[in-house]
């Protein structure tokens, strides 16, 4: 997931700097992957798995917290006795869900770079409407053409994002979010 996040961050920095004005297929794949990750994490946040007891498994070696962290860092899972910790189960679910969501997004993805003329976007807590805010005045939107929205259009978008948020939404400065 780290590579996926790093690739997305590099792309967003280029878009914000104005070095990328339209998106090619490779860049759309990077955005799809990140959006799928956001979807997976949002789903797990509201439905987290619990520790999973493996019946019939002889407990293995006990690891210290530092050893567990070292194993996770290089991509290994571990048991605590005969139990798989919930964070390992949820990590496996993230990988599975990202793959599933990517298969759903890929065939139809047509991300556009959408800027605002002056107002700012709110950020929902849940991925909705193929809308991925990456800067207060810039979002990646699927499907969309590259465009600049008026304040009235941003107001409409923000209303929809607020309504679709499940628990919260945030912004850099709510006074600039119509």
pLDDT at 58: 82
The answer on 84 and 12 residing in a single domain is yes
Of 107, 133, 154, the residue that ends a domain is: 107
The answer on 41 and 120 residing in a single domain is no
The answer on 174 and 153 residing in a single domain is yes
User: Which tens digits make up the pLDDT trace of 6-54?
Assistant: 999 999 999 999 999 999 999 999 999 999 999 999 999 999 899 988 8
pLDDT at 147 over 90: yes
The answer on 118 and 102 residing in a single domain is no
- Three-state SS letters, the chain: CHHHHHHHHHHHHHHHHCCCCCCCHHHHHHHHHHHHHHHHHHHHHHCCCCCEECCCCCCCCCCCHHHHHHHHHCCCCCCECCEECHHHHHHHHHHHHHHHHHHHHHHHCCCEEEEECCCCCCEECCCCCCEEEEECCEEEECCCCCEEECHHHHHHHHHHHHHHCCCCEECCCHHHCC
The answer on 86 and 9 residing in a single domain is yes
Residue 150: give the domain boundaries.
Answer: 110-178
The answer on 75 and 18 residing in a single domain is yes
Average pLDDT value for the chain: 94
């Amino acid at each position: 997931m780290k590579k996926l996040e790093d690739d997305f961050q590099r792309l967003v920095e280029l878009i914000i700097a104005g070095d990328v004005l339209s998106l090619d297929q490779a860049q759309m794949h990077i955005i799809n992957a990140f959006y799928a990750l956001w979807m997976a994490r949002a789903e797990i946040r509201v439905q987290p798995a619990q520790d999973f007891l493996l019946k019939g498994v002889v407990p293995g070696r006990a690891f210290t917290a530092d050893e567990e962290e070292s194993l996770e860092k290089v991509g290994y899972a571990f048991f605590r006795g005969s139990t798989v910790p919930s964070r390992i189960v949820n990590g496996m679910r993230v990988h599975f869900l990202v793959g599933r969501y990517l298969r759903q997004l890929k065939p139809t993805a047509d991300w556009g770079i959408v800027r605002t003329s002056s107002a700012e976007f709110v950020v929902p807590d849940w991925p909705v409407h193929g809308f991925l805010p990456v800067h207060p005045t810039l979002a990646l939107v699927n499907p969309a053409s590259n465009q600049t929205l008026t304040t009235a259009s941003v107001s409409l978008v923000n209303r929809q994002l607020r309504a679709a948020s499940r628990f919260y939404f945030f912004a850099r400065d709510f006074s600039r979010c119509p």
